[in-house]
Chain A
Amino acid sequence: MIYGDKNTGILVQGATGRQGEFHIGLMNAYAKQVGGKGVVAGVTPGKGGQQVHGVPVYNTVKEAMKHHDIGAAVIFVPAGAAADAIMEEANAGITVISCITEHIPVQDTMRAIAYARMEGASVIGPNCPGLLSPGEVKMGIMPSGLFMRGNVGVISRSGTLTYEVVDELTRAGIGQSTVVGIGGDPVIGQTFADVLERFENDPQTKAVVLVGEVGGNLEEEGAKSTNLPIVSYIAGVSAPPDKRMGHAGAIVEGGEGDARSKIARLKKHGIPVASRVSEIPEMVRELFRCRC
């Protein structure tokens, strides 16, 4: 696993909001199931002293850090406050920060990520479902029922499309080591290359499924950076140019970042690219066949 395990205590920023409360419940249900620590503290300014599903809430991250052993944070605060939340956590010394929040202005994201980098923190997202290492830890909103422990890593810019891929893998009997949703915004913290580097140092991960989409060229950049066997899928072959396809970052601009040229470049680097999600399990099996 990467980014955390059973022993990682999680802080939730925006703990008393609807989303925060709901997902603290789900994260801790999962922690209970796998024998992990789960969410140990929440933060909402002005709501210190309250409890959410038995989890104590503090006014500031630093206050929470005084009372708990915290290794990671998950952010559910509204878009206008999310960049500030990233910086507060990085400043307090939390090194793994998943930001679920969508619609953060990109200038705010750039500043928060630049600041987090200076503080030595890794930001996953924003606009992402977080991550899940089956049997170990869930930091975010992924539906754990679809997952199965194994040795295939998944990195994706999407949410539900990731669940679709995981569902296909699990049905085919292919388990996952860690599944990371890196987010659908143009500027994100951890990129494909960053997560792949972690997977390379993770003895559990033997192969990786890389789920990309239109916009930018981070898929190619990532795929070139690793020696791990990869299967890829790129969404948006039918996306028209200059239209934002749901995600702020999913846009073909100035004739760049379209799915077909991404797929062509990945194939040029020898990476198999699935044309349909349902082809992915068989292509992953093929990777393992080649290696033995």
Chain B
Amino acid sequence: MKLREYEAKNVLREAGIPVPAGFLIRSADELTPHLGALGDAFVLKAQVDVGGRGKAGGILMAGKADGTKVATELFGKQIKGLPVKEVLAEQRLDIRHEYYLSITVDRSSKQPLILFTEAGGVEIEITAKEHPELIRNVVANPLMKDLPPFMIRELIGTAPKEIGPVINKLYRIFIEKDALLAEINPLVTTPGGVFAADAKIIVDDNALGRQGITVNRDLSEREREAEKHGFSYVELDGAIGVIGNGAGLTMATLDLIEYYGGKAANFLDVGGGAESERVMNAVRLVASVPTVKVIVVNLLGGITKCDEVAKGIIAAGISQKVIVRLAGTNEAEGRRLLSEKGYEMLDTMDLVVRKAVQVTA
């Protein structure tokens, strides 16, 4: 789950990384008591869970005189369709130079990868493409609690030495906060020292519990509902609902729908142990998506009980057509139950998908 900017900056502040003086406000009126501390010129930043908010008008410059007016304007906006409920009012920095610093999980080395470049202020993807030589990187053995000084020296090169402690503190945050990404972009130098002008932290969804996060904000309402049942769920925009067991098989089912010219409405991995109630819940959830006209159920597993699955599909009692491919034990009984109620059960995933695409064509 992605933390909001002010949450990420709180994490940085607690770890001893300097961040600009800032205040979170939930209405324009809440700005008034902070006007003195913010100084003559400050920034108002919408705290919305969406990328590219700057270009979408979510970051506005303000001053002591027009602060409340600008804040009112920002609270009245929709940023990429999202209402602005929280705004970070932040001191403006006298920026001398911008740097980029990030720590990610490197799949190839299976270790934290730390990237630093003195060529900040440009999108890192562009620098990576056009001037990869400007990006310095190291991978760190995750068993180390701190980065050894030589790694920090390798990273900062000719940049000011005061950046060194920031790198090590961010590394500690990365490990202790179960981050998949910890990024300071830009990391800036000012006459008053080094500051994290913006920060991004993504927390591992598998560690939300131990990080004290109870609600995953990145999930839509239906995705959250699915999570409660133990399903993995992603919403798409087609007409063919999909239920599979296992992430790979379910993805392959979506791909096959595309291959045959159809469009999937969703991805739902029902997980292990497809007993009838689980299947019923999955079918009902997918059927509740307004665009769904037909549902493909594709379950394969040596130990999946086909009669149980059939009972679940029948118990769901939905109005849309359900086309089923089942492979496992008690196949004959499952087929008998389904055909008795008029559901179609076919032998391969190619056959069920082709049938579903025909139905929606």
Interface extent on A, as a size class?
Answer: 35 or more
Q: What is the CA–CA distance of A143 and B300 in the complex, to the nearest angstrom?
A: 10
Contacts of B175 in A (CB 8 A): 107
Which residue of the partner chain B has the closest CB to A117? B110
Interface of A is mostly: loop
Contacts of B204 in A (CB 8 A): 105-107
Q: What is the CA–CA distance of A223 and B250 in the complex, to the nearest angstrom?
A: 24
Q: What is the CA–CA distance of A110 and B112 in the complex, to the nearest angstrom?
A: 8
A216 is an interface residue with CB less than 8 A from chain B: yes
**Which residues of A in the span 248-285 have a Cβ within 8 Å of any Cβ on B?**
248-250, 254-255, 259, 275-278
B148 is an interface residue with CB less than 8 A from chain A: no
In contact, B249 and A160 (Cβ under 8 angstroms): yes
B178 is an interface residue with CB less than 8 A from chain A: yes
B254 is an interface residue with CB less than 8 A from chain A: yes
Max chain B Cβ within 10 angstroms of own Cβ: one of A105, A113, A211, A246: A246
In contact, A235 and B108 (Cβ under 8 angstroms): no
A56 is an interface residue with CB less than 8 A from chain B: no
B322 is an interface residue with CB less than 8 A from chain A: no
Q: What is the CA–CA distance of A162 and B301 in the complex, to the nearest angstrom?
A: 10
Taking the closest CB of chain A, its distance from the CB of B253, in whole angstroms, is 9
In contact, A146 and B255 (Cβ under 8 angstroms): no
In contact, A238 and B254 (Cβ under 8 angstroms): yes
Taking the closest CB of chain A, its distance from the CB of B178, in whole angstroms, is 5
Contacts of A103 in B (CB 8 A): 206
A237 is an interface residue with CB less than 8 A from chain B: yes
Contacts of A160 in B (CB 8 A): 244-246, 248-249, 300-301
In contact, B256 and A161 (Cβ under 8 angstroms): no
A186 is an interface residue with CB less than 8 A from chain B: yes
Q: What is the CA–CA distance of A107 and B105 in the complex, to the nearest angstrom?
A: 9
Q: What is the CA–CA distance of A246 and B269 in the complex, to the nearest angstrom?
A: 7
Max chain A Cβ within 10 angstroms of own Cβ: one of B110, B125, B178: B110
Taking the closest CB of chain A, its distance from the CB of B245, in whole angstroms, is 5
A195 is an interface residue with CB less than 8 A from chain B: no
Q: What is the CA–CA distance of A160 and B251 in the complex, to the nearest angstrom?
A: 11
A243 is an interface residue with CB less than 8 A from chain B: yes
Looking at A4-12, A39-47, A59-67, A151-159, the stretch in contact with chain B turns out to be A151-159
In contact, B143 and A115 (Cβ under 8 angstroms): yes
In contact, A255 and B125 (Cβ under 8 angstroms): yes
Contacts of A164 in B (CB 8 A): 249, 252, 300, 349
Residues of B in contact, count (CB < 8 Å)? 47
Choice from B111, B258, B301 contacting A163 with Cβ under 8 Å: B301
Taking the closest CB of chain B, its distance from the CB of A19, in whole angstroms, is 9
B315 is an interface residue with CB less than 8 A from chain A: no
Contacts of A167 in B (CB 8 A): 300, 327
In contact, A187 and B107 (Cβ under 8 angstroms): yes
**Which residues of B in the span 322-361 have a Cβ within 8 Å of any Cβ on A?**
327, 348-350
Which residue of the partner chain A has the closest CB to B264? A238
Q: Which 10 A-B pairs have the closest CB atoms?
A: A143-B302, A158-B248, A246-B247, A160-B246, A161-B248, A105-B207, A246-B232, A110-B142, A235-B251, A160-B249
Which residue of the partner chain A has the closest CB to B348? A278
In contact, B248 and A162 (Cβ under 8 angstroms): yes
In contact, A275 and B142 (Cβ under 8 angstroms): no
Choice from B108, B327, B348 contacting A221 with Cβ under 8 Å: B108
A184 is an interface residue with CB less than 8 A from chain B: yes
B257 is an interface residue with CB less than 8 A from chain A: yes
Q: What is the CA–CA distance of A240 and B254 in the complex, to the nearest angstrom?
A: 11
